Each structure stands twice: as structure tokens, then as C-alpha cells.
Amino acid sequence: MTEAPEKMEARDLVRGAVAIPSVSGQEAQVAAFLADWMTAHGFRAHIDEAGNAVGERGSGPLTVVLLGHIDTVPGEIPVRVEGDRLYGRGSVDAKGSFCAFVAAVAALPEPALRGARFICIGATEEEVPSSRGARFALQRYQPDLVLIGEPSGWAGLTLGYKGRLVAHVRVRKDNFHTAGEGTSAADDLAEAWFRVRAWAARHSGHGAFDTVQATLQSLSTRTDGLSQLAEGTFGLRLPPQVSPAAAESALRDRLADLPVSLSFSGHETAVRHPRDNALTRALRVAIREQGGTPVFKVKTGTSDMNVVASAWPVPTVAYGPGDSALDHTPDEHLDLAEYDRAVAVLTAALTRLVGDVA
């Protein structure tokens, strides 16, 4: 979008989306706002059964899915614009990225629309393990190319995300006098954590992406005078060489002699896509045209890229404006000038992509 009115419309889009609270599971209002905006700008738009805001433009043989998410973590940040900064929960993670997708597709010229079908999906519940919106979408579409809406910086291209496994550990024991022999429920839970952390330390690679990262996410103990209960949640970020199934098996083996009960959730396999394909080439050219130097990245978190990778084995890149270091923070904000550049990059890349693939 190079025309000033179009640029202001794109900014109004992201400001409007960020102004609507949409904690995971409560996305209906922002989905309606986005569907209405897309309808008014030439999309065939609707809200699907998962609550996703879906808009399509174009009718060509190539199918390009632009999958973002419109939910946020909790934590209210007063929505405001200060200078060129838009403050608000979701401005970076990741309404800014999805709105950039929508604004770019709205700006595509007719030749691009004749060459491809562009499907923008604002997915629900990405910030919680269900990933409801993405899991619904992967059953409905068979794309040739995929863009994932996550903050990479306007000149960044994210090729991969680490996997994940969450262990829920519980210890219940009869109460006893602290002067007696034996271990408390808290002792056993602590021992379980020490063993998990030691196992993770033995799987260190050359960088964070190739290392198992273990985090103690929660810890609690209580007693009713008759029994003790200790509970903990251990989070694991997994490199490509360690699958969630392998990690779960290893933890069960290492904790087998402790009186703990285990359950696991959040099984996501790490993914890393190739650097060179039609999608990355088109984006690299567009970034250079805007005066930037393309930078390839891999991330230690997870995203909907992990969810769709096995079902959609096609060229895939995560892209979007914003600094991911601001994700989930009280200072979350999006540089609107960077947002403008991301929209311009996407518009040029998608236009070029249709010509290159055709």
C-alpha cells in the first residue's frame, strides 16, 4: 500500500483490532470486526465453526494461506498511539501480523488475484494448547504456500520454532511429623524437578534452538492435616532432534522410582523449513526493495507453524512486524512505520510470487 488513504486504512485496521479485547476463547468480537473489514474491502469473508475470521480474494490455481492468530494472553494494556507506536495487548503478538496480511491482500492488483487464491485466516486459541483455530483450518484447506503471522521484524523471515512438552507432576502422601523419617510430598516434587532439569542439561546443543530448555512454570504445596499434596508444572522447549514422545518417555523413566503421578500436555514437534523456495525468494526481493537486509531466524517458542507443518508440507515462512521480545509484556507496542513497511513487503512479495510460480 503506497497511497496515503490506503496506508491510513491499514493503520485503522490494526488500531481497531487491538482495541478489542480478545483473550483466548473470547475472540468473537474481534473476529466480527475483521470479517466486516474484509467484506468491505473486497474479500469473501465469514466466521467459521472454530470462530476464525476468514477472508478470501482471488480465483487463480495457486492457493496461498495466510494464517495468523487473533487471540491474546491476559493482561490489559491501555490502547493508545504515542508518536508512531501503537500500544495494546496483541499489537505485536499477533494482531499486527494478521492485519498486515489482510491489508496486503486487500491491496493486491488484479493480475495477482487472477493467478492465485489468497485465504487470510485469523485463528482462535493459539495462545493456549488447544490451537483450535489452526487445527480446524488444517482440515479445510490444502495450500500450496503458507505464511504464518508472527512477529519477525519487517526484514526477518522465521523458518522454524522449537517443540514443546508440558509435564504436570503431582505427589500425594499421608501427613507425618517433620521430625520423623521419610520425605515429604514437597521433597519428592523437588527431586522430580531436579531430575528433569538434569536431563534437560544433558541435551544441550550449539545454541538455544538445539537445546532442551526446562522451566519450572508452577509449584504449590498444601496440607489438610491428614495428607500432603504437592503439584508442579514443568515446561520443556524441545529441539528438532528430541520429539515430544521421546521426551515424555525419558521423563517417565527417570521419575519411575518416585511416588509421583504424571500427565502431559502441549505435545508440539519442532519444525524448521528450508531457506530457499519461491516464497522466501519473493519475500527477500521485496525486503530489499524496501531498503532492508533479509535475516533468517529460528525461534525458541512455538506457534501455529508447529501445528500445521505435518499436514501442510509446503513452503512455509512466519512473517510479521514487531519485536517478539515485547510479546506478553506490559510494554507491548507496535511501531506503525514498521507495520507500513511489512504491508508493503507482503504486497510486493505476493504479487511477485504469483508471477514467479506461474
Residue 71 falls in the annotated catalytic set = yes
Cell readout for 319 is 512473517
**How distant, in Å, are the alpha carbons of 13, 30, 66, 77 from that of 339?**
11, 19, 16, 19
- Which member of 27, 71, 125, 332 is catalytic? 71
Q: How far is CA 119 from the centre of its chain?
A: 18
CA atoms of 181 and 178, how far apart (whole Å): 8
Q: Which long-range contacts (CB under 8 A, 24 or more apart) does 10-13 make?
A: 10/99, 10/100, 10/103, 10/106, 10/339, 10/340, 10/343, 11/336, 11/339, 11/340, 13/37, 13/99, 13/102, 13/103
Residue with grid cell 506478553, as numbered in its chain: 328
CA atoms of 7 and 336, how far apart (whole Å): 10
Residue 333 has what DSSP assignment?
Answer: E
Spatial neighbors of 207 by CB under 8 A, at least 6 apart, are: none
- Which member of 27, 93, 126, 144 is catalytic? 126
Catalytic residue positions, numbered: 71, 126
